Structure 1
Amino acid sequence: MSDHVDGPRSIGDPAADITDLFVFTSPGNPARTVLAMDVFPSAGEDAIFSNIIEHAIAVRRVTVAGIGNAAKFDPEAEEIRFSFRFETLKRDAAGSVIQRGVCKLPDGRELSLTVNDEKGTSTPDGDVRVFAGLRSDPFYLAWDIAILKKLPNLLQHTNVLSIVVEFDTRRMLDLAKGSLFGAIAETVPPQQRNLLGPAISRIDWVGRPEQTNMRLNNPAMSAITDLRDLWNQQTPFAVSKVLAPLFLQRLKDSLVTWDLLDGKADWTPETIAATANVFLDDFLLFDVAKPITDQSHLEIEKSTLSGHPYQTGGGRTLDANCIDILLTWLVNNDREFLQGGASGATKPSLKTFPYFATPNTELQTVTDSVELAATPDDVWSLVGQFGGAWHPQTARVSLTGAGVGQLRTIRTLDGQQIVDRLEAIDDTKRSLRYSNIAGIAASHYTSTLEVKPKGTGCVVDWRAQFVATGKTDRAVKVIVSTLFNTGLESLKSQFGVAK
């Protein structure tokens, strides 16, 4: 998923897991360029930036050093770097919990900012403006890409932590020296001595989308070694010469696999080798002197590999359909456009600063029911006990307190722990409502269980609503649906199915 969860190390540290990098021209002012990076996949509403990680976007001027099968993009040594550090949580004058941070600009100036302040912070003369906060994830993936099966957007309703830098293009980039650049984003931990081994140089970095999850760890390839953590330890703009042959061979093998995924060969060995060489130098190319549009993503690379001058500014807008653009290129060399099962992210981008759409806060719903042959009272006498021991996935239950406010701690057969609180119970109406305190990757989770008469038997309704956090909306729905279905199906053997 773009750069989401791209390796064991980043999966273990989601606050440092970069999900995406974007470069585009400000829709409201063509004289300004926007750099943006996202971290923390499936961030919950209380997600905060790590206070020990440096978040950085670095830009270097690039020259075209070869075309056609000799295509090559050479970055200069000088780096234009925007780095962000964030503090621990504090309270403002009104007592609200806030997080503050500092952005260090390439010339050494520092901009203080408050997380989630949509106005952002600007320099006194307005040449740079920055933002950091929770926003709707603009990335979307609507494929089972290993088998080219269309799906709904797998990241529907998810949020990320976004960092945005907008600046005056000419003042920041000195276009007299050239207008083509490469950008990367990285998360760098404190460099301190590690008694168990060498210091970790970085947690994650990204240039072009899908370098790790689709090219280096191609899901259509079987029994391959996961190279993603090794790749993420490389220095951007300077991949290790010792390890370069390993990565290059994987890129070639991956391109061959993608090419044959539809049963047709559209690439020659020469173009595969040339494209792998371009991908090995992983940075997001953009030319600020040309138009950057929703369709211009990867056009610079494609044109240069084809042996003719590029026409657009490349880059990547928030609304760019980067997966389908990339998949079409890899699978059939742009012979036929491959449109996935969704045509856009959960929300389209904004045309004004900070450009990312507002966070997703809509409650999601899961419902299930079963019709039984027993009377409502007989069924309620079992499921109406808040202890929940009737559920077949329950290994043991412990209760704390009594009545409304009572807590139950459920240990499941697979070793998970779920803590719920009773919010309401009505034995007359055979209904109870509870909230989840821990154990389910969701906030605002409430669930209602009701038993109602139907014919000579009854119907048991179980429903929940929540906002997913830490997992995708789809993943949480699967977890809750499985929990409901397993429980309700078990009642059939005890009470019989209504006829």
Structure 2
Amino acid sequence: MSDHIDGPRQIGDPSADLTDLFAFTTSENPARMVIAACVFPSAGTTAMFSNAVDYAFAIRRVSVAGLGDAAKFEPGEEEIRLSCRFDNLKRSTAAADPVQGGMCILPDGRTLPIVVNDEKGTSTPDGVFRVFAGLRSDPFYLAWLVPGVRKGPNLLLHDNVLSIVIEFDATRVLDPGRGSLFGVIAETVPLRPDVIGQKPPRIDWVGRPEQTNIRLGNSEAGPIDLRDLWNQQTPFAIATDLKPVFRERLKASLANWDMRDGVADWTPTALAANVNVFLDDFLLFDIAKPITDTSHLEIEKSAIGGRAHQTGGGRAVNANVIDILMTWLINRDREFIRGGATAATKPGTNTFPYLAAPNAELQAVAYSVDLAAPPDAVWALIGGFDPGWHPLVAKVEMKGSGVGQLRTIETIDGKQIIERLDEVDPSARFYRYTSLSGIPASNYTGMLGIKPKGDGSVVEWRSQFLPDNQPDIVVKAIVSALLKTGLDSLKQRFGGAK
């Protein structure tokens, strides 16, 4: 998720929040091009594409307009555009889950139907285009803790995203005989008529990874958040009167990143050239040259270095883009630096739809505490499914009794959690429940049990779930706080086992 949550519009509609953009040729046939975009950060199993948004790719032929200190890329006026639009969910059969359909509008105006999550995708009769849309494992990984330059775990482990993947015959669609260097962007725009001649406000767009959050969103480079203003710009045509604003932010941000290791690697002229190149934000790729996991940004770097590029640039699914970028910003490739992870949760594949299948493994959190009190004394307090004993609970409303009983919990920070009792065995001092709402997870099951241990008892509290609309690391932190705080309070009340 190299572009996620970078403005209020994206926060308001995560299904339109673009997180990543890819452009690469297939390993089986270099004449086949793939462009892919991801939306909906930390998508849950029920995530769906918006039926009010145009998910579009725009490709333009690009020329090298300067090298070295005058490095610049100039996009042409002609635009190759592909758009995907989606319908409401529809029930297919009485037993099946609802299905979302849609269509892809091709550059020549033809439409190609889409069935979301159909891994085979849909192809045009002539085989020129093939399209997939659906839930996939997030191909991005971020293992840096910022501010500062500190290695950490993959902060997106087990995350999923919604993805759109379009594979096509590059010769037929791009006509590389007229030039093989291209720039591509992805954007999300509301589907509604123009209002008094004004186009609807763009929700999001993305070119190169981390243009907004790492470069423009660097708070150490300026106090004003420019990311939402940037997202309202027209790709390939940044507003002339705003260019100085963005240029100064990019310049200050690069200078700041350069000194994160205490060494100045960017000269003023090279820094200015870098800003000039990255101000016009589009993902560059050259279909006449190899696009690999390591070719990302090579075209831009070569231009700034005053030489012709040797690779196809682009961005392959398994490219380590964050470490490539951090190395470039901090030490201008003097020494490659790595974060705390070397791969995404699941590697991409060499076959359609290239992004790995979604993560569906239940995540687990478990804690236990040894108490001095006997099991019956502890069960008398916590075995009734009423969590009023928990220090994070401000108020509880109980409905019903026995299996099926509901508890509505208001936490001390004002949040509401609703849970249902699914199984209870007083003789075994155990109950199992399901969280219905209030925790950003699906398939959430909790289990609380007490067993004798020596002269006292041990309380075990476990939960398993799928993260939903929040990163796995965030959901685990929320659940861990609930479980651990509750068990710690029992130790204070009953005393720990000796």
Shorter-chain TM band: over 0.9
Letter of the structure 1 residue corresponding to residue 290 of structure 2: P
The alpha carbon displacement at 1:93 in A equals: 5.4
| 1:75–1:237 CA contact under 8 A, matched in 2 | yes
| 1:51–1:88 CA contact under 8 A, matched in 2 | yes
Listed as ranges, the matches of 1:474-485 within 5 Å are 474-485=473-484
3-state SS of 1:118 partner:
coil
| Residue in 2 that maps onto 1:99 | 100
| Residue in 1 that maps onto 2:315 | 316
Mapped partners of 1:115, 1:313: distance in 2 = 30
Listed as ranges, the matches of 1:432-471 within 5 Å are 432-471=431-470
Letter of the structure 2 residue corresponding to residue 150 of structure 1: K
In structure 2, runs of 5+ residues without a counterpart are: none
| Residue in 2 that maps onto 1:171 | 172
3-state SS of 2:388 partner:
coil
Mapped partners of 1:276, 1:206: distance in 2 = 17
1:110 aligns with 2:126: no
| Residue in 2 that maps onto 1:338 | 337
| 2:381–2:389 CA contact under 8 A, matched in 1 | yes
| Residue in 1 that maps onto 2:124 | 123
| Residue in 2 that maps onto 1:279 | 278
| Residue in 1 that maps onto 2:34 | 34
| Residue in 2 that maps onto 1:184 | 185
Mapped partners of 1:482, 1:194: distance in 2 = 48
Letter of the structure 2 residue corresponding to residue 116 of structure 1: N
| 2:221–2:249 CA contact under 8 A, matched in 1 | no
The alpha carbon displacement at 1:63 in A equals: 0.2
Letter of the structure 2 residue corresponding to residue 268 of structure 1: T
1:262 aligns with 2:261: yes
| 1:43–1:469 CA contact under 8 A, matched in 2 | yes
Letter of the structure 1 residue corresponding to residue 70 of structure 2: A
| 2:221–2:252 CA contact under 8 A, matched in 1 | no
The alpha carbon displacement at 1:380 in A equals: 0.9
The alpha carbon displacement at 1:200 in A equals: 4.3
Q: 1:364-390: per-residue Cα shift (whole Å, max 9, x none)?
A: 010111111111111111111201111
Letter of the structure 2 residue corresponding to residue 48 of structure 1: M
Flag the 1:223–1:285 CA change in 2: closer, same or farther, 3 A. closer
Mapped partners of 2:169, 2:281: distance in 1 = 25
3-state SS of 2:46 partner:
coil
3-state SS of 2:330 partner:
helix
Mapped partners of 1:199, 1:452: distance in 2 = 65
| 1:200–1:233 CA contact under 8 A, matched in 2 | no
| Residue in 1 that maps onto 2:373 | 374
State the percentage of identical aligned residues: 62
The alpha carbon displacement at 1:193 in A equals: 6.8
Mapped partners of 2:195, 2:485: distance in 1 = 46
Mapped partners of 2:454, 2:163: distance in 1 = 54
3-state SS of 1:259 partner:
helix
Q: How many residues align?
A: 496
The alpha carbon displacement at 1:451 in A equals: 1.1
In structure 1, runs of 5+ residues without a counterpart are: none
Mapped partners of 1:338, 1:388: distance in 2 = 48
| 1:191–1:201 CA contact under 8 A, matched in 2 | no
Mapped partners of 1:311, 1:222: distance in 2 = 33
| Residue in 1 that maps onto 2:81 | 81
1:132 aligns with 2:147: no
3-state SS of 1:73 partner:
strand
3-state SS of 1:49 partner:
coil
Mapped partners of 1:428, 1:45: distance in 2 = 36
3-state SS of 1:300 partner:
helix
| Residue in 2 that maps onto 1:211 | 211
Mapped partners of 1:54, 1:388: distance in 2 = 46
The alpha carbon displacement at 1:4 in A equals: 1.4
1:328 aligns with 2:327: yes
The alpha carbon displacement at 1:8 in A equals: 2.2
| 2:64–2:73 CA contact under 8 A, matched in 1 | yes
Q: 1:268-325: per-residue Cα shift (whole Å, max 9, x none)?
A: 1111111011111000000000000000000000000000000000000000000000
Mapped partners of 1:11, 1:276: distance in 2 = 28
The alpha carbon displacement at 1:91 in A equals: 2.1
| Residue in 2 that maps onto 1:146 | 147
Mapped partners of 2:155, 2:339: distance in 1 = 11
The alpha carbon displacement at 1:222 in A equals: 6.9
1:493 aligns with 2:498: no
